[in-house]
Amino acid sequence: MRTLFIENKSEIDSIIQQCRTCYLGLSLDNMPYVVPMNFGYDGQFIYLHAAQEGRKWEIMKQNPRVCITFCLGDELAWQDEHVACSWRVKSKTVIAEGVVEFIDDFEQKEALMHVFMKQYSNQTFKFNAPAIKNVGVVKVHIENIKAKEFGAKAPTPWSKK
């Protein structure tokens, strides 16, 4: 089993779109903080929403640089079940690094709430004004994105690469 780099943007987008949770990595004063979150993704930006207070919000205000991890799959696999080092978790991961932009405009926040819900449902939703006003929304400008597949079958000499 091998680890393969995924470079095709549509495959990277597909991994992100199939995930239900992302893991937001933040850092302040050399202390890392990672929190699971719901998200929205439009193929260009990652969107996050949260209360406009608390540890996560305050860290983003002080250090807008973030790292977001997506992981799809958790199937155990091995080459030899009696050899511990041959065990793997078959999965695909995406790691995106970027900078947070805080969205304050009411209409833009409302439009982005539809992007969030599109990640989880095909339904059309309506949001009341207090819900939009009170939610904190951030747009992550992706600066670097990498993806890998873990536990892939090694290609045979006669297979296409």
Structural domains in the chain, CATH included, are: 2-152 (2.30.110.10)
Asked if 138 and 115 count as a contact pair (C-beta separation under 8 A), the reply is no
Given this model, what pLDDT does residue 4 score? Answer: 81
Query: Between these two residues, 54 and 81, which has the higher pLDDT value?
Result: 54
Q: Tell me the pLDDT band of 150, cut-offs 50, 70 and 90.
A: confident
- Check pLDDT > 60 for residue 126: yes
pLDDT confidence band for 151 (50 / 70 / 90): confident
Sign of the Cα pseudo-torsion (25, 29, 31, 33, in order)? negative
∠137-140-142 over CA atoms, to 5°?
170
pTM to 2 decimals? 0.85
pLDDT at 90: 75
DSSP reduced 3-state for 138: strand
Q: Reduce the DSSP state of residue 46 to 3 states and report it.
A: strand
Residue range 42-68: mean pLDDT, rounded: 96
Among residues 77, 105, 103, the alpha carbon closest in space to that of 91 is found at 77
